[in-house]
Amino acid sequence: MSNKPVVTVDLGGTNLRIALVVGDEVVNRHIFPTPRGAEAIVGLIAQEALAISSASSSDIEGIAIAAPGAASRKLGGLSKAPNLPELNGYPMAAQVTKLTSLPCIVENDANAYAAGEVVYGAAKGMQTVVVITLGTGVGGGIVLEGKLWRGVDGSAAEVGHICIEENGRLCGCGAKGCVEAYSSATSMAKLAREYGVEASSAREAYDLAKQGNEAALKAFHRAGTALGIVVAGLVNTLNPQAVVIGGGGSSSFDLLEPGIWQELKIRAFPVAVENLKLVKCTLKNYAGLLGAAALLRGLA
C-alpha cells in the first residue's frame, strides 16, 4: 500500500474530470467534454495525465479511472458500457499504460464512489459498508472487511433495480417497482410533481418541503420509505456497520432519513439495526476521484 500521488479520472458520458490526488486531497482538477471514440478518450487521459505528472514534484503511483459500466480487472476496462459504447470490451488500462508508462486501473464509477466514502469520507475507519448513490439513477458500492466487493462479473451492488413493490412504479429498465423509480434524484422530483408540487428538480421540491409544503414533505417521505425497504433488505443480507447515502439526491438526506429508519425498524433484524449507522456522504463530487485513487493504492 502506497500513498504516492495518483492521477485520477472520473469519466462520464458527458464530462471527463481528471485530477491529482495527493494524500486525501484532490488538486489540479480539470474538466473536459468527453471525446467520442475509445482512442480519443484514452488519448486525452494519457495526455493530461502526463501533463499533471510532469507538473508534480513527486513520483506518480499510477492512473486510476472511474468509468460508467461493468468494469473487469482482467480486461482492464469496461465489459459493458451502455453510456459509452465505444469502450465496450476496450482494454483501456493497457492503452493508457502504453501511452504513459504508468500503471493504470479501471473501476466502475459507483464502486469508486463507494471506496472514496469508505476510505476518506463519511465511513472513514469503517470496514463493512454499503454505499447507495441517488443520482439520475440509483447505484451503489459495497465494501466488506475493507475490500470492495465486485461480484463474479463485476456487476455487484446494482442496488437501483432492487424491487420494493412488485407492481409498483415503472422503472426506466422496464421492470416495475425498482427503488430507482422512487428514490433517484430524478424520481424524487417526479414524485413531488405527482403529489402536486410545482418543482422542476429535487432541489426545488426540497426547498419547498423545508418551507413546510405538505405535499413536498410527503413526496420525500415516500422516497425515504422506498429507499428504507431496500436499505432494510441490504442490512438483512449483509449486516454492515454503516449505510452511506450519496449522490446528488443525498442533499435531501434529512427528509429521507425518517422514512429509511421507519422501514429499517419494521423490516430489518433488530440487532443489526441497533448497531447500524446511517450517514450522509461527505465527499460529494470528489468521492469518485478519491475512491479510484484509494483502489489503486490497494486501500479498498
Q: How far is the CB of 149 from its own copies (least distance, A)?
A: 7
Contact 197, 219 (CB under 8 A): yes
Which 56-75 positions form the footprint of its own copies (CB under 8 A)? 70
* 271 in contact with its own copies (CB under 8 A): yes
Please identify, using beta-carbon distances, which residue of 32 and 269 lies nearer to its own copies.
Answer: 269
Q: Which amino acid is at 217?
A: L
* 185 in contact with its own copies (CB under 8 A): no
CA distance 60 to 93: 16
CA distance 150 to 133: 16
Q: How far is the CB of 112 from its own copies (least distance, A)?
A: 17
* 2 in contact with its own copies (CB under 8 A): no
Phi, psi of 140 (to 5 degrees): 180, 175
Please identify, using beta-carbon distances, which residue of 149 and 253 lies nearer to its own copies.
Answer: 149
Say if strands 77-80 and 138-144 run parallel, antiparallel, or are unpaired: unpaired
Please identify which residue in 9, 157, 278, 294 interacts with its own copies, judged by CB under 8 A: 157
Which range touches its own copies (CB under 8 A), out of 22-30, 89-97, 145-153, 212-220?
Answer: 145-153
Contacts of residue 109, Cβ cutoff 8 Å, sequence gap at least 6: 10, 11, 12, 66, 67, 68, 139, 288
Q: How far is the CB of 141 from its own copies (least distance, A)?
A: 11
Please identify, using beta-carbon distances, which residue of 99 and 238 lies nearer to its own copies.
Answer: 238
Cβ density class 12-45: b for 16+ within 10 Å, e for less:
beeebbbbbbbebebebbeeeebeeebeebbebb
* 151 in contact with its own copies (CB under 8 A): yes
Residues of the shown chain interacting with its own copies in the complex, contacts defined by CB under 8 A: 70, 79-80, 128, 142, 144, 149-159, 161-168, 174-175, 178, 225, 229, 232-234, 236-241, 266-269, 271-272, 275
